[in-house]
Structure formats: C-alpha cells, structure tokens
C-alpha cells in the first residue's frame, strides 16, 4: 500500500465516522462540530486528488461560512434543553421513507458506473489547480457563472425579505 | 533507497522548522505583551513593568508562569467539553496561519537547500483566508459554552465583526493577486525582491487590509468583544488558568502573524530594502543574506506590532453600529472599487 | 512513500505532497495545545466552592439561562456573509487568470460585479444593516 492509499482509507474512515456522529448526536452544537470535521475530511480527499483550490474553498465556504451560520442559528435559538424534542412516530416513518427513496435513487445512479475505466489522478493531476479552473470557468462556463450571480441576488433578496419585516 | 534517505531528512527538516516557527510565534507573542505595557507606559508618561529583571524584561515569563499555576474553574452551568474546546481552537487556528509565510530565502546546509517556509503551497493566500475564516469558532464556541450573558453577547458580537471584515479583506486581496498573478507566497515575495514593493501599487488596498487586520485580531478600535465597560470582560470572562492564557495568547499571536502577512504581501517580505540581494550574496555568502533577510522581515513585523500597540493607546473604541457601518458600507465598496480600478489599469497598460 | 515525497523536490507547490508539512504542523500544534491543557489541569490548586462555580455577572446574582433568542440582525449579517463570501471566492480564479483572459474576461466579471452591486445596494436601501433601532 502506498502512503496515498493509507491516507485515503484514513480520511474515508474519518469522514464516515464523523458523518454518522452528525446524525446520531443529540445535541445540535456537537452535530455542527462533527459536520465541520466531516468537511475537513472531504478537503483532505480533495488534496489527495490535487484539487487544491476546491479543498481550500470547501474549507472557506462550508467550514468557515455556512457552519458559522448554522452555529449562529443553533446558538441563538432558544435551546435551553440539551435534547432535541421527540418527534411523533408518523414523522419518523415519513423521514425513513424519504431517506429510503433517496438511497434508492443513489444506488440506481451509481449501479451503472464503470469504475474500472476511471483513474483518479491522485497527487499529480492538475485540473483542480486554480489556474486551470479559472481558465475553464471564464471561457467555457462563463454563462453558468453569470447565471449564478442572479442566484446570489435572489438569495440576498430572499434573506432580506424574510429577515427584515417592516 | 537513496531517495528514501533524502525524504526522511525532509520530514525532519520540516518538523524542526515547524517547532522553531511555533516557538518564535509564542516568544514574540509573549514579548508583545511586554512591549504593549512598555509602550502604554511611555505614551501615558509612566514607567511600566520594571520589577522583574532589568527593565522588567522577565515580566512576560512571570505572567506566563502564573497562568500554569492558577486554579482551573469550569462553571457548573457551562457545557464542559465545549468550554475547553473554545480556547483550544482559538490557539490552534492562531498557530496554524504561520505555515505558508516565507520567513526567509533558502539556507545551504550540508548540501541541502533548506527553505525557510513551512509549506510552499499553490494557494498560499487562500490558505491564510481559510484559517482566518476558522478563527471565528474559538470566540463563538467559548462565548456560548460559558453560559454567561456577557460572554454570549461578546462572542456573538465578535463573530459578526470578524465575518464582516473578512469580506473586505478577501476583496482587497483580489486586487493584490491581480498584480502578482499567483497565490504562492514565495512567488509574491520574489516579485517584490526583483521589483518595487506591492505597497507602491496598492496603497488603498493596504489601508483596507490594515483596518481589516485590526478588526480580525480584535484590537482597538475594534475590541468590542472585550469591551470591559459594557461586557465585564468579554467572551473569556468565565475562563481562568491556561484556557484564559490561550485566548490572550491567541490574540497576540494573531497580531504577530497578521503583521507578518502585511509585511510579506505589501512590504517585500524578507527583502532587504535598498540592497541588491544577488550581488550581496556574492560578497558575503548566501546563508548570511538569508539570515539578514529573516531579520529584515522581523524588523518590519516589529514595526507593525508597534503600530498596533500605538493605535490601541491612542484611538478610542468604536460603537457597534459604527463598526458595522465601517465594515459593510465603507470598506466593502472601497475594496471593490480598488479591485475594478486595478483590473482596468493593468489591462490598459498590458495593451 | 517515495512518489509522494519525491514530487516536492520536482515541482514545489503543484502536488498534494506540498501539504505534508501542513499536516505535520497540525499534529504539532494540536499536540502542544493538548499537552498544555492537560499539564495546567494538574498543576493548579483545586479548592472549588459553589460560589466559585457560578457564572459571573458583575457581582449580582445571575438570573436564568444565558441562552436566549437574539436580535435578528446577527442572523441577517451571517446569511449575507455567506452569500458575499461565495461571490468573493469566485473572483479568485479570475484574479489569477485575468491577464490571459483579457477584456472578455473583464466584461464577464463586470457583469458579475454589477449583480453583486445590485444586491449590495438593495441590502443597504432596505436597511438590513441598520443597527440603531
């Protein structure tokens, strides 16, 4: 086993473990902290694939911005009790069915993938470097890039409309 | 097998460098507290610490040693684990930023080229941005875990302040990157060694960056999370012993590191001003020039540290709405304007 | 082992091997912080009384739990921060490549910036960042 393989298995174990901890932890603040650890594990995977820009953006945006927002919301809602409220049985059943459907879709999508012909460019692949990503983003994918700015605008308006009632 | 030997040396070399950089960060943070008190004393016409050792030079050691032997108090109503995690995170994030800063050129030692930069990664500037964005957690988690109204308020205030100024900071860095065309810290410094310093092209950018650095490190006039007249003692009010020490230390380390970042990005890094490095290294040797360069960087850093302290004892604290208005309504448009102007000028000149 | 480490020598910064020192630093720093926390836990005296373990509220008795709902402004700042942060991240790949992209890339980004400005002005006009009320 090369060192990359060892790191891959270690990171995968970390990601899976922390993702499970996010779900089974009863205290929302701990869930958020486990989720942050999950993002770090995923960033580690990106680095192994030499997608350096994605790795750091994953940390800045997910671990550094979205998780801060989650923490804000959890810390400032009225969470006096350490336990999340018990849901009714029906709600649990609905949740299980919905998640089962998602799992089915994922399995169906992944079933036909030809894994053997895909070679992961570990360590030396350079498509994930910022220079190459930037070139592709601003030439080939410039329209989706512009459309994303409209998405941001609508998100901002939505946030202000909901947050500022007057 | 020949390669294996070299690689193990690389790991040892990097570990030694990490240990040295972390120790120097801690040492400089310790002596910044001394400098802070001495400068404050000078500005207020007092003597400052003068009992421990000559000129009170041992005062930081006494202060630090005291923290080891203080009673550890964890309030009953707090969340125990998070209460410990908060200061630990603050300290870890403060110490992690130094990884991508080039502290000097290369040393030739036993036929090995030893770089004085821990990790020369392709996305150096973004790495700094990433670690800064994580430094919010120390304050937030600590403030919330204390289960104290003042701590919580201070933690929330501090977190919103830091995220607001992060935006302007990110925008100013973009204008700088347009100039350098690379995110690698080593390349940015090399360009400044061979040409003029970036401050010449980016005076407005530097100003915005400096203000943001003050806000990110929670220094006056942006020290609202620690406003003692409003919040008792701020987010670390329930802390004692080494955990309090971590919070205080993290602030001074962040001050040191952000000074180093400013020196590296805008003031030439380890470039010795008005000296041609290559001709100097021909006359006095490569290693000596590298060491002199390291000292040049430390001198620039000391200057910025002095400015940080000077500002603290000169300017009063902002009100919270003033702080938010400055961050959102002034600095972000200013940084955006700076970015667009930089882009237009460079594109026009390139033609 | 060899292939991972050898790459550092060949082309610094462009392979994942350049992150090895950062991993080392994480281990070192976490170890140091944990070590200091454990050491001070055992060094200090332990004479804890009920009053000492209460939260401090400036001398008066503290009332109730501190974890209460907060002003919505803080949430709004956090949400807007996330949005603007993502937009700023988009500028980084542009800043690195913008000499090569020339004026075409510049106008593409200008359009993005104008949407950014629209959102920004909307927020200011709506008073989402007013704290004085």
- Residue A89 in tokens: 């049985």
Mean pLDDT of chain B: 86
For residue A129, the chain B residues in CB contact (below 8 A) are 122
Q: Specify whether C48 is located in the same domain as C81.
A: no
What does the pLDDT read at residue B231? 72
Residue B196 Cα distances to B28, B134, B190, B266, B273, angstroms: 28, 33, 11, 10, 10
What does the pLDDT read at residue B2? 38
Q: Specify whether C53 is located in the same domain as C77.
A: no
Domain-embedded: residue B131: yes
Domain end, chosen from C9, C38, C66, is at C66
Q: pLDDT class for C6, splitting at 50, 70, 90?
A: very low
Q: Mean pLDDT lowest for which of A16-30, B266-280, C24-38?
A: B266-280
| Gap between the Cα atoms of A92 and B130, Å rounded | 38
Q: Specify whether C111 is located in the same domain as C75.
A: yes
Closest CA–CA distance from residue A7 to any residue of chain B (Å): 17
Q: Is the dihedral of CA B243, B98, C15, B183 positive or negative?
A: positive
Closest CA–CA distance from residue B43 to any residue of chain C (Å): 30
B85 to chain C, any CB pair closer than 8 A? The answer is no
Q: What is the DSSP string of B172-200?
A: HHHHHHHHH----HHHHHHHHHHS--HHH
* Closest residue to A68, CB basis, from C15, C78, C128: C78
pLDDT over 50 (residue C4): no
| Gap between the Cα atoms of B177 and B164, Å rounded | 21
Write the pLDDT tens digit of every residue in C40-80.
888 878 887 777 777 776 667 777 777 777 777 888 888 88
Task: Label residues C104-124 b or e (16+ Cβ within 10 Å = b).
Answer: ebbebbeebbebbebbbeebe
CB distance B324–C62 less than 8 Å? no
**Which of B141, B149, B173, B228 to mutate to test binding with chain C, by most C CBs within 10 Å of its CB?**
B149
Q: State the residue range of the domain holding B308.
A: 63-350
Domain-embedded: residue B19: no
* Closest residue to B242, CB basis, from C40, C45, C57: C40
Residue that is written with structure tokens 């804890």 in the block: C48
Beta strand B112-115 pairing with B106-109: antiparallel
* Closest residue to A60, CB basis, from C80, C89, C127: C89
For residue B15, the chain C residues in CB contact (below 8 A) are 24, 28
Query: How many separate domains does chain B show?
Result: 1
Domain-embedded: residue B69: yes
> Phi-psi region for residue A129, left (φ > 0), alpha (ψ -120 to 50) or beta?
beta
What does the pLDDT read at residue A86? 66
Adjacent-strand bridge partners of B109: B112
C91 to chain A, any CB pair closer than 8 A? The answer is no
Residue B120 near residue B106, CB atoms below 8 Å: no
Write the pLDDT tens digit of every residue in B154-203.
888 888 888 899 999 999 999 999 888 888 888 888 888 888 888 888 89
pLDDT over 50 (residue B43): yes
Residue C58 Cα distances to B78, C50, C61, C130, angstroms: 17, 17, 8, 30
Domain-embedded: residue B15: no
A10 vs B219, residue with greater confidence? A10
Structure letter (DSSP) for residue B313:
T
Q: State the residue range of the domain holding C27.
A: 1-66
What does the pLDDT read at residue C5? 43
What does the pLDDT read at residue C28? 92
Q: Give helix then strand counts, H and E, for chain B.
A: 15, 2
Q: What is the mean pLDDT of residues B276-285?
A: 77
CB distance B137–A71 less than 8 Å? yes
Q: Specify whether C56 is located in the same domain as C81.
A: no
| Gap between the Cα atoms of A52 and A119, Å rounded | 18
3 state SS for C38-61: HHHHHHCCCCCCCCCCCCCCCCCC
Q: Specify whether C74 is located in the same domain as C127.
A: yes
Residue B252 near residue B305, CB atoms below 8 Å: no
| Gap between the Cα atoms of A76 and C99, Å rounded | 45
Q: What is the mean pLDDT of residues B79-94?
A: 90
What does the pLDDT read at residue A36? 92
Domain end, chosen from C66, C89, C118, is at C66
Closest CA–CA distance from residue A70 to any residue of chain C (Å): 9
Residue B108 Cα distances to A109, B113, B118, B163, angstroms: 55, 5, 16, 42
Q: Which chains touch B (3 or more CB pairs under 8 A)?
A: A, C
What does the pLDDT read at residue B155? 86
C8 to chain A, any CB pair closer than 8 A? The answer is no
CB distance A29–B134 less than 8 Å? no
CB distance A75–B156 less than 8 Å? yes
CB distance B75–C37 less than 8 Å? no
Mean pLDDT of chain A: 83
Domain end, chosen from C17, C38, C66, is at C66
What does the pLDDT read at residue C1? 39
Q: Specify whether C55 is located in the same domain as C110.
A: no
CB distance A52–B122 less than 8 Å? yes
Q: Specify whether C112 is located in the same domain as C51.
A: no
Contacts for B62-70: CB closer than 8 Å, 24+ residues apart: B63/B33, B64/B30, B64/B245, B67/B241, B67/B242, B67/B244, B67/B245, B67/C40, B68/B241, B68/B242, B68/C39, B68/C40, B68/C43, B68/C44, B69/C43, B69/C44, B69/C45, B70/B240, B70/B241, B70/B242, B70/B244, B70/C40, B70/C44
pLDDT over 60 (residue A52): yes
Domain-embedded: residue B192: yes
Domain-embedded: residue B315: yes
CB distance A60–C85 less than 8 Å? yes
SS3 (DSSP) at B99: helix
Q: Specify whether C57 is located in the same domain as C102.
A: no
Residue that is written with structure tokens 């392709």 in the block: B122
For residue A56, the chain C residues in CB contact (below 8 A) are none
Query: How many separate domains does chain C show?
Result: 2
What does the pLDDT read at residue B92? 93
Domain-embedded: residue B113: yes
What does the pLDDT read at residue C8? 42
C133 vs B225, residue with greater confidence? B225
Q: Specify whether C125 is located in the same domain as C96.
A: yes
Adjacent-strand bridge partners of B112: B109
Q: pLDDT class for B5, splitting at 50, 70, 90?
A: very low
Q: What is the mean pLDDT of residues B257-284?
A: 84
Q: Mean pLDDT lowest for which of B218-222, B306-310, C36-40, C79-83?
A: B218-222
Q: What is the mean pLDDT of residues B30-42?
A: 90
What does the pLDDT read at residue B258? 92
Residue C7 near residue C15, CB atoms below 8 Å: yes
Q: What is the mean pLDDT of residues C104-113?
A: 88
Q: Specify whether C62 is located in the same domain as C106.
A: no
Between CA B279 and CA B286, with CA B281 as vertex, the angle to 5 degrees is 160
Q: Specify whether C51 is located in the same domain as C99.
A: no
| Gap between the Cα atoms of B106 and A42, Å rounded | 33
For residue C100, the chain A residues in CB contact (below 8 A) are 135
Q: Which residues contact A95 (CB under 8 A, 6 or more apart)?
A: A87
Closest CA–CA distance from residue B171 to any residue of chain C (Å): 7
Closest CA–CA distance from residue C41 to any residue of chain B (Å): 7
Q: Specify whether C60 is located in the same domain as C76.
A: no
- Residue B104 in tokens: 């000097």
| Gap between the Cα atoms of B246 and B242, Å rounded | 6
Q: What is the mean pLDDT of residues A43-69?
A: 88
């Amino acid at each position: 086993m090369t060192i990359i393989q060892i790191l891959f298995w270690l990171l995968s174990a970390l990601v899976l473990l922390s993702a499970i901890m996010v779900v089974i932890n009863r205290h929302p603040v701990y869930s958020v902290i486990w989720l942050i650890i999950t993002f770090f594990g995923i960033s580690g995977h990106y680095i192994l694939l030499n997608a350096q820009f994605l790795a750091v953006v994953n940390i800045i945006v997910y671990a550094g911005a979205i998780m801060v927002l989650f923490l804000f919301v959890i810390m400032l809602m009225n969470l006096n009790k350490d336990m999340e409220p018990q849901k009714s049985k029906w709600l649990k059943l609905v949740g299980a069915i919905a998640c089962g459907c998602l799992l089915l879709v994922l399995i169906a999508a992944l079933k036909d993938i030809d894994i053997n012909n895909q070679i992961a460019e570990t360590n030396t692949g350079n498509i994930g470097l910022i220079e190459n990503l930037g070139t592709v983003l601003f030439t080939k994918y410039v329209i989706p890039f512009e459309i994303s700015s409209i998405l941001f605008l609508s998100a901002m308006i939505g946030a202000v409309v909901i947050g500022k009632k007057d | 097998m020949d390669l294996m030997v070299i690689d193990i040396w690389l790991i040892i070399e990097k570990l030694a460098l990490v240990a040295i950089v972390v120790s120097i960060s801690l040492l400089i943070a310790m002596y910044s507290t001394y400098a802070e008190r001495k400068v404050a004393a000078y500005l207020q016409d007092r003597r400052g610490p003068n009992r421990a050792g000559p000129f009170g030079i041992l005062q930081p050691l006494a202060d630090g040693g005291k923290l080891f032997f203080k009673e550890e108090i964890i309030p009953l109503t707090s969340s125990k684990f998070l209460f410990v995690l908060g200061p630990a995170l603050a300290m870890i994030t403060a110490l992690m930023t130094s990884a991508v800063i080039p502290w000097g050129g290369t040393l030739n030692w036993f036929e090995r080229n030893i770089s004085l930069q821990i990790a020369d990664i392709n996305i150096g500037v973004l790495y700094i941005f990433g670690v800064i964005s994580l430094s919010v957690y120390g304050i937030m988690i600590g403030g919330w875990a204390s289960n104290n109204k003042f701590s919580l308020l201070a933690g929330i205030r501090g977190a919103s302040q830091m995220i607001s100024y992060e935006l302007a900071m990110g925008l100013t860095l973009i204008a700088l990157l347009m100039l350098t065309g690379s995110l690698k810290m080593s390349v940015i410094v090399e360009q400044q060694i061979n040409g003029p310093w970036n401050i010449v092209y980016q005076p407005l950018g530097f100003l915005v960056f400096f203000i943001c650095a003050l806000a990110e490190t929670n220094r006056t006039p942006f020290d609202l999370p620690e406003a003692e007249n409003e919040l008792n003692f701020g987010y670390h009010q329930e802390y004692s012993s080494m955990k309090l020490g971590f919070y205080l230390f993290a602030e001074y380390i962040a001050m040191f590191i952000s000074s180093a970042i400013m020196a590296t990005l805008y003031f030439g890094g380890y470039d010795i001003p008005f000296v041609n490095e290559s001709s100097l290294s021909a006359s006095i040797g490569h290693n000596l020039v590298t060491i002199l360069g390291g000292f040049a960087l430390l001198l620039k850093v000391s200057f910025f540290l002095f400015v940080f302290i000077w500002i603290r004892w000169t300017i009063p604290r902002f009100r919270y709405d003033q702080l938010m208005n400055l961050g959102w309504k002034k600095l972000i448009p200013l940084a955006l304007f700076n970015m667009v102007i930089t882009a237009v000028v460079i594109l026009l000149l390139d033609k | 082992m060899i292939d991972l480490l050898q790459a550092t020598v060949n082309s610094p910064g462009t392979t994942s091997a350049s992150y090895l020192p950062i991993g080392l630093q994480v281990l070192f720093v976490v170890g140091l912080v944990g070590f200091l926390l454990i050491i001070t836990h055992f060094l200090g005296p332990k004479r804890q009384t009920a009053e000492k373990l209460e939260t401090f509220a400036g001398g008066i008795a503290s009332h109730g739990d501190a974890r209460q709902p907060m002003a919505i402004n803080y949430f709004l700042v956090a949400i807007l921060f996330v949005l603007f942060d993502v937009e700023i991240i988009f500028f980084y790949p542009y800043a690195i490549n913008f000499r090569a992209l020339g004026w075409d890339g510049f106008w593409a980004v200008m359009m993005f910036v104008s949407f950014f400005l629209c959102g920004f002005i909307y927020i200011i006009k709506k008073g989402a960042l007013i704290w004085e009320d």
